[in-house]
Chain A
Amino acid sequence: MDCTICNNLMDDYFDGHLSHKKRKQVTGHLTTCQGCSEFFRKYENMLKSIRNVEIKKCPDEVVDSVFDIINIDDKFSRRKSVFDRINEFLFLYSRQLGIAGAAVTVFLFVFLITSQFDKTTHVQQQYTTQDVEQATDQVKLALAYFNQVTSRTEEIIEKEILHQQVVRPMKSSIRTALKPLINGG
Chain B
Amino acid sequence: MKKTKYKIYISQYKDLIFCQAYYFTKCTEDAQDITQDVLIKLWHNLDSVPRKSAKAWLLRVTKNLCIDHSRRKRELVASAVAVNSDGDEFQLELEDCGLNPEQETINLDSKERIMDAIHQLPDKIKNVVIMREIQDLKYDDIAAALEMPINSVKVYLFRGRKLLFEQLKPFYGTSVFE
Taking beta carbons and an 8 Å cutoff, which residues of A are in contact with B?
Answer: 11, 42-43, 45-47, 49-51, 53-59, 61-63, 65-66, 69-70, 72, 74, 76, 80, 84, 87-88, 91-92
Q: Is the CB of B32 within 8 A of A66?
A: no
Mask, B1-16, CB within 8 Å of A = 1, is 0011111101110110
CA distance A3 to B22 in the complex (A): 38
Q: Is the CB of B177 within 8 A of A56?
A: no
Q: Is the CB of B114 within 8 A of A43?
A: no
Give A95's nearest chain B residue, CB to CB.
Answer: B51
| Minimum-distance CB pairs A-B, first 6 | A58-B18, A45-B177, A58-B14, A66-B39, A56-B22, A56-B19
CA distance A9 to B132 in the complex (A): 18
CA distance A66 to B17 in the complex (A): 14
In the bound complex, residues from chain B placing their C-beta under 8 Å from that of A57 are 15, 18-19
In the bound complex, residues from chain A placing their C-beta under 8 Å from that of B15 are 55-58
B136: interface (CB < 8 Å): yes
Contacts A58-B35, A62-B32: A49 and B110 contacting too (C-beta < 8 A)? yes
Give the one of A58, A76, A80 with max B CB within 10 A.
A58
CA distance A100 to B40 in the complex (A): 35
In the bound complex, residues from chain A placing their C-beta under 8 Å from that of B11 are 80, 88
Contacts A42-B177, A46-B177: A51 and B19 contacting too (C-beta < 8 A)? no
* Chain B 46-73 residues near chain A, CB threshold 8 A: none
Q: Is the CB of A66 within 8 A of B40?
A: yes
Contacts A46-B177, A58-B15: A53 and B172 contacting too (C-beta < 8 A)? no
Taking beta carbons and an 8 Å cutoff, which residues of B are in contact with A?
Answer: 3-8, 10-12, 14-15, 17-19, 22-23, 31-32, 35-36, 39-40, 43, 110-111, 114-115, 118, 129, 133-136, 154, 157-158, 161, 164-165, 168, 172, 176-178
For the complex formed, measure the closest distance between the CB of B94 and the CB atoms of chain A, giving whole angstroms. Answer: 23
Contacts A45-B178, A55-B135: A11 and B14 contacting too (C-beta < 8 A)? no
Q: Is the CB of A45 within 8 A of B36?
A: no
CA distance A131 to B84 in the complex (A): 122
A to B CB contacts below 8 Å, 24 in the list:
A11-B161, A42-B165, A42-B177, A45-B177, A45-B178, A46-B177, A49-B110, A50-B118, A50-B134, A53-B133, A55-B135, A58-B14, A58-B15, A58-B35, A59-B18, A62-B18, A62-B39, A66-B39, A69-B36, A70-B43, A74-B3, A74-B7, A80-B11, A91-B4
Q: Is the CB of A76 within 8 A of B111?
A: no
For the complex formed, measure the closest distance between the CB of A84 and the CB atoms of chain B, giving whole angstroms. Answer: 8
For the complex formed, measure the closest distance between the CB of B126 and the CB atoms of chain A, giving whole angstroms. Answer: 12
In the bound complex, residues from chain A placing their C-beta under 8 Å from that of B161 are 11, 43, 46-47
CA distance A61 to B33 in the complex (A): 11
Contacts A56-B15, A57-B18: A76 and B4 contacting too (C-beta < 8 A)? no
Of A55, A61, A62, A91, which one neighbours B19 at CB under 8 angstroms?
A55
For the complex formed, measure the closest distance between the CB of B137 and the CB atoms of chain A, giving whole angstroms. Answer: 12
For the complex formed, measure the closest distance between the CB of B21 and the CB atoms of chain A, giving whole angstroms. Answer: 9
Give B31's nearest chain A residue, CB to CB.
Answer: A56
Of A53, A65, A76, A92, which one neighbours B10 at CB under 8 angstroms?
A76
In the bound complex, residues from chain B placing their C-beta under 8 Å from that of A91 are 4-5, 8
Q: Is the CB of B157 within 8 A of A49?
A: no
In the bound complex, residues from chain B placing their C-beta under 8 Å from that of A62 are 14, 18, 32, 35-36, 39
